[in-house]
Amino acid sequence: MTIVALRRLSRWTVAAMACWMFAGNVNADELPLHQIQLPEGFKIAVFADNVENARQMALGDDGTLYVGSRRAGRVYAVTDDDSDYVANKVYTIDQNLDLPSGVTYRDGSLYVAAISRVLRYDNIAQQLNSPPDPVVVRGDLPTEEHHGWKFIAFGPDGKLYVPVGAPCNVCDEAGYATIKRMNADGSELEDFAYGVRNSVGFDWDPVTKDLWFTDNGRDLLGDDIPPCELNHAHEAGLHFGFPFCHGDDVSDPAFGEQRACSEFVAPAQNLGAHVAPLGMTFYTGRQFPEKYHNQIFIPEHGSWNRSSKVGYRITMVTLDENRQVVDYQPFATGWLQNEQSWGRPVDLLVLPDGSMLVSDDQAGVIYRITYDAATVTGAAP
């Protein structure tokens, strides 16, 4: 299939998804939360429901939670006015946007990524009832919808990081398959990382300030290859292999002869094939036990193209004192039951009290995961 045909197919697919009529968001009391398996001492509850197609989250200075969407085309603000960790109201900040999956917050402004544009809503917390028109920070990013929805975040350097995914399953086109960065005003756009097929989640190590990111592996090579990836970019300019190499050593059938896997930065951790890792987050809170501090949590959104489904869970990657991966294990499972999913985790956000929010774009809710040592068997009184 040609690149043009692939692009046409991607546009048709997204358009079909956009036309899908939701039967309505799930109410909190309708969800089978008892099916979620967590380590002892942890509990999951619904923080907010009726957040259709909830994707990336960002927290404002006053505690307002901002949430992007993809199919819904909306950006939301969620408030918890009485601070009881159950949302009181969901506002629509904007609608009819072009797959506005990515959101981030800085200096009183909400930034939204909508395919080719990065938008900014100034003084947003004071205008939830009547949101302002957005300022276009940057309006010349690629318009391709295939892998065009974005996860965005500000780095320790003050730059806004914006990925531009490959406009295909596998292809080699200049300007795509990168993570870019720019100033907060949209100026000085530059490439930071190359060979990144489709990153929809990244965060900076609180210890070293290095960038870590997930990457979704290519399709149509079978159930078990290639792996999705967790990558570590300790500096700018690194190449992570796409489209020539996938995972540690899977040479691409179409492009692998051009360049060897040894030329590229290998993943810090190979993840499961087709698990679709999204909004990875370092746990920077203190509510969870010490073993979780400064470790990586990854929502695995789940497979659509495998004979038996995988993903639909949250995993944890443990780093040692040298910030090398030493373990990769499930943390929260249960959204997939007998090949049927009732939820799909997308993004994670650590709240100031150390609890963790989880967005779910299938159920249209935001969960909150907490830890209570008193519920652990054998815990001291």
**Nearest C-alpha neighbor of 79 from the set 371, 366, 370:** 366
Tokens 């901002």 map to which residue?
A: 66
Largest pairwise CA distance in the chain: 66
Place domain 3-53+153-375 in its CATH homologous superfamily.
TolB, C-terminal domain (2.120.10.30)
CA distance 78 to 348: 15
- pTM reported for the whole predicted model: 0.92
Extents of the domains making up the chain: 3-53+153-375, 54-141
**Local confidence pLDDT in tens for the 381 residues of the chain:** 333 333 433 333 333 333 333 334 567 778 999 999 999 999 999 999 999 999 999 999 999 999 999 999 999 999 999 999 999 999 999 999 999 999 999 999 999 999 999 999 999 999 999 999 999 999 999 999 999 999 999 999 999 999 999 999 999 999 999 999 999 999 999 999 999 999 999 999 999 999 999 999 999 999 999 999 999 999 999 999 999 999 999 999 999 999 999 999 999 999 999 999 999 999 999 999 999 999 999 999 999 999 999 999 999 999 999 999 999 999 999 999 999 999 999 999 999 999 999 999 999 999 999 999 999 987 655
Q: What is the CATH number of domain 54-141?
A: 2.40.10.500
Which element (helix H / strand E) includes 16?
Answer: helix 3-19
> What pairs with residue 281 in β-bridges?
297
